[in-house]
Amino acid sequence: MTRIRLKNVNFSYRYFPSISGGLLRSNAGLRSHLVFENFNLDIHDGDRVALLGVNGAGKSTLLKIMAGVYTPERGEVISKGKIYSFFGRSIGVMPQLSGLENLEIRGLLLNLPDEIIQNKIKQIIDFSELGEAIYRPVSTYSVGMRTRLTFGMLMFVEADIMLIDEGLGAGDKFFLKKAQKFIESLLDSSKILVFANHSMELLKKFCNKAVLIDAGEIIQFGELDKVIHLYNHLRHLELKTNNAK
Amino acid sequence: MNFFQDIKKGYERKRLWKRLAVLELKSRYQGAVIGSFWIVLTLILKVFMLSLVYTMVLDKDFKNYVMFLAIGILTWNFISAVIVSSGMVFKKATNFMLEMRLPQSTFVFQNLYREVISLIMYQLFAIPLVIFLKGWSFVSVVWLWALLGYVLIVLNAFFVNFWLGWLATRFRDIQPMLISVIMVIFLVTPILWPPPPEYANSLYFQLNPIYHLLELIRAPILHNQVPVMSLQVGVGLLAFNFLICVIFYPKVENKLVYWL
């Protein structure tokens, strides 16, 4: 049975200070910011969870903890199943390399055999309709083309648990329909999806549950529509307060 | 995962790090007409220009000085490139390390593989140059000791990449410091100038580990000698670098990703 469970997790984000300040002033030292304290979350087979929260709520950090990139200071992360993580468009794609080289690197990162990589690359080129542009550096791509390449990279996935953060933009409508069909087929084979995205359109298409987090705490976890409703309500209140100020 | 498992698992990802290293080398010369051949051409230009000036300044025989400089400078290029790039070995891999958990050694292998390719390309110039200047009769079995020397240098570089990489990722002063220090080491180590015979055994040279690493290659090829003392220093350095890695790996294993 596929599952991800976070049990009493404590996690502080560490970072180097900003470069602002005087040119001769010391910027030394590593700062720490507590993100999660006694955090608990349990995701099971068949859950396609939308991760909601304002910027800085801890969504990306939570995904990185689930993926094993960050190790919590306290508590446990128990995962059963093969994890595939896909974090951010700039992370998934190296702009100085061609689309083809990026696909190759992605396949190698996932440690797939050469034969499978080559077969998948052919499928991805057909799917993404990038044509000859696949041989050009990604830095010359339009936003739409990058989105197509990023979606294409998902074709390499053979995992039980998919963790996706922001990497997928909405793209053009025609392509989105095509991508939706593909992701649905992909999700049939993966048992858990945790998806952070600002596009409600995408979240509604791909998820059946949602978790709303704020300042490292779960506000609500449950049915997608209910959580989205609460999220919109809270955002509305926040906007009102900000306007009143 | 312990240090040994990290190395084993990193090595198993060899298709990834080899491809990344080659792409990195190619991207450095993206758009250049002669591409990666610039690696060799830069060395050729450096050796001939410096030889023209320094044979005059130091009053040396041109043939012998060119050989001394070529062998010394190509080995130095490798050592200095490894030291300076150590500072960026993990920083450069931020995108990958923040996306999935990969063995740290994957990126050390990548860095080293790239530099070893450059080193092999340097040899394509240096070895024929020595044979051209001195003839086939100059080639000797003792040269095999230089091969062992390179193995020692590469192994040392592997472990230095780890600990210097950790240090530079954690403490941001290390990378700019490395760039300054490497220039000073270049000037105080006998690379451009042979050590004066009367001072060859002085502590000034004997305490400089880089001097010994250079001698591992220069002594067999240029003087047909087995550099016993330098071999001992090379093995000692290897033990030191290895121990540093084994001791500190458990302390940085989970923290490295926060420092990126």
Task: Indicate if the pLDDT at residue A172 is higher than 60.
Answer: no
A185 in contact with chain B, both atoms CB, cutoff 8 A? no
Using a CB-CB cut-off of 8 Å, the residues of chain B touching A14 are 258-259
Q: Is the dihedral of CA A44, A45, A51, A52 positive or negative?
A: negative
Question: Quick check: is B126 in a domain?
Answer: yes
Nearest to A70 among B23, B173, B257 (CB): B257
Question: Quick check: is B7 in a domain?
Answer: no
Question: Quick check: is A150 in a domain?
Answer: yes
Q: Given strand A3-15, what is the order of strands in its sheet?
A: A31-44, A3-15, A74-80
* Cβ atoms of residues A210 and A228 within 8 Å: yes
How many beta-carbon pairs below 8 A join chains A and B? Answer: 61
B177 in contact with chain A, both atoms CB, cutoff 8 A? no
| Coil, strand or helix at B139 | coil
For the record, the structure tokens of A50 come out as 């939308």
Q: Confidence class of residue A245 from pLDDT cuts 50, 70 and 90?
A: low
Reported as a single tens digit per residue, the pLDDT across B193-223 is: 988 888 878 888 889 999 999 999 999 999 8
Using a CB-CB cut-off of 8 Å, the residues of chain A touching B27 are 96-97
Question: Quick check: is A211 in a domain?
Answer: no
Question: Quick check: is A179 in a domain?
Answer: yes
**DSSP symbol at A111:** T
Say if the ipTM goes beyond 0.90.
Answer: no
Question: Quick check: is B1 in a domain?
Answer: no
The residues near B247 (Cβ < 8 Å, ≥ 6 apart) are: none
* Cβ atoms of residues B165 and B83 within 8 Å: no
Task: Quote the CA–CA distance of A178 and B113 in Å, as a whole number.
Answer: 41
DSSP assignment of A29-59, as one string? S-EEEEEEEEEEEEEETT-EEEEE--TTSSH
Reported as a single tens digit per residue, the pLDDT across A90-144 is: 555 678 888 999 999 989 988 899 999 999 899 888 888 888 899 998 889 887 7
A30 in contact with chain B, both atoms CB, cutoff 8 A? yes
Task: Indicate if the pLDDT at residue A74 is higher than 70.
Answer: yes
Task: Indicate if the pLDDT at residue A28 is higher than 80.
Answer: no
For the record, the structure tokens of A185 come out as 């087929």
Task: Indicate if the pLDDT at residue A224 is higher than 60.
Answer: yes
Task: Quote the CA–CA distance of A197 and A191 in Å, as a whole number.
Answer: 19
Rounded to 10 deg, the angle between the B3-12 and B14-28 helix axes is 70
CB contact under 8 A, B99 and A91: yes
Task: Quote the CA–CA distance of B116 and A215 in Å, as a whole number.
Answer: 48
- Residue type, position A189, single letter: S
* Paired strand residues for A223: A209
Q: What is the mean pLDDT of chain B?
A: 91
Task: Indicate if the pLDDT at residue B156 is higher than 90.
Answer: yes
CA torsion angle for B150, B155, B156, B160 (degrees, to 10)?
130
Q: Single out the residue of A99, A50, A92 nearest to residue A198, CA to CA.
A: A50
B98 in contact with chain A, both atoms CB, cutoff 8 A? yes
Q: Given strand A209-214, what is the order of strands in its sheet?
A: A83-87, A161-165, A192-196, A48-52, A209-214, A217-223
Range of the domain at B90: 13-259
Q: What is the rounded average pLDDT of the residues B122-145? A: 86
* Cβ atoms of residues A36 and A9 within 8 Å: yes
Mutation for B interface: A91, A139, A150, A157, most B CBs within 10 A: A91
Reported as a single tens digit per residue, the pLDDT across B65-75 is: 999 999 999 99
Q: Is the dihedral of CA B229, B232, B234, B240 positive or negative?
A: negative
Task: Quote the CA–CA distance of B179 and A75 in Å, as a whole number.
Answer: 41
The CB density around residue A172, as the number of other CB atoms within 10 Å, is: 12
Question: Quick check: is A55 in a domain?
Answer: no
* Cβ atoms of residues B221 and B130 within 8 Å: yes
Task: Indicate if the pLDDT at residue B80 is higher than 70.
Answer: yes
User: Which element (helix H / strand E) includes A11?
Assistant: strand A3-15
Q: What is the mean pLDDT of chain A?
A: 82
CA torsion angle for A125, A130, A134, A136 (degrees, to 10)?
180
The CB density around residue B193, as the number of other CB atoms within 10 Å, is: 16
* Cβ atoms of residues A36 and A61 within 8 Å: yes
Question: Quick check: is B26 in a domain?
Answer: yes
Q: Show the CA angle centred on residue B87, arms to residues A110 and B244, nearest 5°.
A: 90
A26 in contact with chain B, both atoms CB, cutoff 8 A? no
For the record, the structure tokens of A159 come out as 């995992």
Task: Indicate if the pLDDT at residue A21 is higher than 60.
Answer: no
Nearest to A101 among B23, B98, B102 (CB): B23
Mutation for B interface: A26, A30, A112, A139, most B CBs within 10 A: A30
Q: Show the CA angle centred on residue A146, arms to residues A144 and A148, nearest 5°.
A: 70
Reported as a single tens digit per residue, the pLDDT across B22-50 is: 998 888 887 788 888 888 899 899 999 99
Give me the residues of B, 26-85, that contact A with CB < 8 A: 27, 30
Question: Quick check: is A174 in a domain?
Answer: yes
Q: Single out the residue of B118, B38, B22, B112 nearest to residue B73, CA to CA.
A: B118
Task: Quote the CA–CA distance of B154 and B75 in Å, as a whole number.
Answer: 11
Using a CB-CB cut-off of 8 Å, the residues of chain B touching A64 are 98
Question: Quick check: is A66 in a domain?
Answer: no
Question: Quick check: is B39 in a domain?
Answer: yes
For the record, the structure tokens of A196 come out as 């952070």
Task: Quote the CA–CA distance of B229 and B225 in Å, as a whole number.
Answer: 11
Using a CB-CB cut-off of 8 Å, the residues of chain B touching A92 are 99
**DSSP symbol at B196:** P
* Cβ atoms of residues A42 and A3 within 8 Å: yes
Question: Quick check: is B127 in a domain?
Answer: yes
Question: Quick check: is A90 in a domain?
Answer: yes
Nearest chain B residue to A14, by CA: B258
Range of the domain at A138: 84-190
The per-residue pLDDT for A202 is: 79
CATH number for the domain spanning A171: value is 3.40.50.300
How many domains does the structure of chain A reveal?
1
Reported as a single tens digit per residue, the pLDDT across A173-210 is: 656 677 677 777 776 666 888 988 878 887 888 888 99
CB contact under 8 A, A30 and B30: no
First to last CA, chain B: 20
Task: Quote the CA–CA distance of B192 and B54 in Å, as a whole number.
Answer: 8
Nearest chain A residue to B99, by CA: A87
* Cβ atoms of residues A122 and A87 within 8 Å: no
How many domains does the structure of chain B reveal?
1
Q: Kind of pairing, strands A209-214 and A48-52? A: parallel
Question: Quick check: is A126 in a domain?
Answer: yes
Using a CB-CB cut-off of 8 Å, the residues of chain A touching B97 are 69
B97 in contact with chain A, both atoms CB, cutoff 8 A? yes
The CB density around residue B190, as the number of other CB atoms within 10 Å, is: 20
